[in-house]
A = this chain, B = another copy of it.
Amino acid sequence: MWRDALLVAGKDLRIEARSKIALNQIAPFALVVLLLFAFALDPDRGFLQEATPGLFWIAVLLSTLLVVQRSYAVESADGGRDALRLTGLDPAGVFLGKAAAVFVVLAMLEVGLGVGVRLMYDTSLRGWPVLLVATVAATTGLVAAGTMYGALAAGLRVRETLLPLLFLPVVAPVMIGGTRAFAAALDGSSGEAWRWCGLLITFAVAYVALGMLLFEPLLEDS
């Protein structure tokens, strides 16, 4: 299983390294989202500062959507969407591999975004340990859920539209948890922040486990 996961993750990251989609397109996209929403939601700084965690997670969420979409687009770009099934790789391994690749890309993106937010909205980074834990947990949850729903939508002709529909409501808890944890941490109430981290970790663990269990029927089908 681990060997298969490594193989799949290596392949996906190599494709990413070749095409540099995350760097050239998704990262700028995330920044655009930050800016645009700042526009749309009243350019009144006082409020924006409060909404910063929310905006950060919205940008991450929409980027996750794109990264996942891309991750499955490469599988069926050449007409055949059988490659992964034909290899006979372990489904749990495939899940872990694809999720790991998405995680790596997303983590890099978040660092960039974090710096952007830090500069643009002038947020101070008090309580960074809890911020870090919350970020990792939330990202893991997003990635695991995204990888599963990506597989659910993959191969259907309607995937571009089905994926967001399925994915966004499910990760609503991550949105809330991430936003609240950040808000609490930035307010200095780290106790509450850790409680939200608990929710995020639960979600992440649950989805990783579900993914490893349920990926088999998803790869299975024709």
Binding site for B on A (CB under 8 A): 19, 21, 25-26, 28-29, 32-33, 35-37, 39-42, 47, 50-51, 54-55, 57-58, 61, 66, 69-70, 73, 77, 79, 157-158, 160-162, 164-165, 168-169, 172, 175-176, 179
Nearest 10 interchain pairs by C-beta: A40-B54, A25-B161, A32-B168, A29-B165, A41-B54, A25-B165, A29-B164, A69-B160, A40-B175, A66-B161
Q: Can you list 27 A-B pairs with a CB-CB distance of less than 8 A?
A: A19-B157, A21-B161, A25-B161, A25-B162, A29-B161, A29-B164, A29-B165, A29-B168, A32-B168, A32-B169, A33-B168, A35-B169, A36-B168, A36-B169, A36-B175, A37-B58, A39-B172, A40-B54, A40-B58, A41-B54, A66-B161, A69-B161, A70-B160, A70-B161, A77-B157, A79-B79, A160-B160
Contact of A176 (CB < 8 Å), options: B40, B57, B66: B40
Closest to A173 in B: B39
Pairwise interchain contact B40-A160, C-beta atoms closer than 8 A: no
Interface of chain A, main secondary structure: helix
- Which chain B residues lie closer than 8 Å to A25 at the CB level? 158, 161-162, 165
Pairwise interchain contact B41-A175, C-beta atoms closer than 8 A: no
With A32-B164, A33-B168, A169-B35 already in contact, the answer to whether A40 and B21 are too (CB < 8 A) is: no
Closest to A51 in B: B41
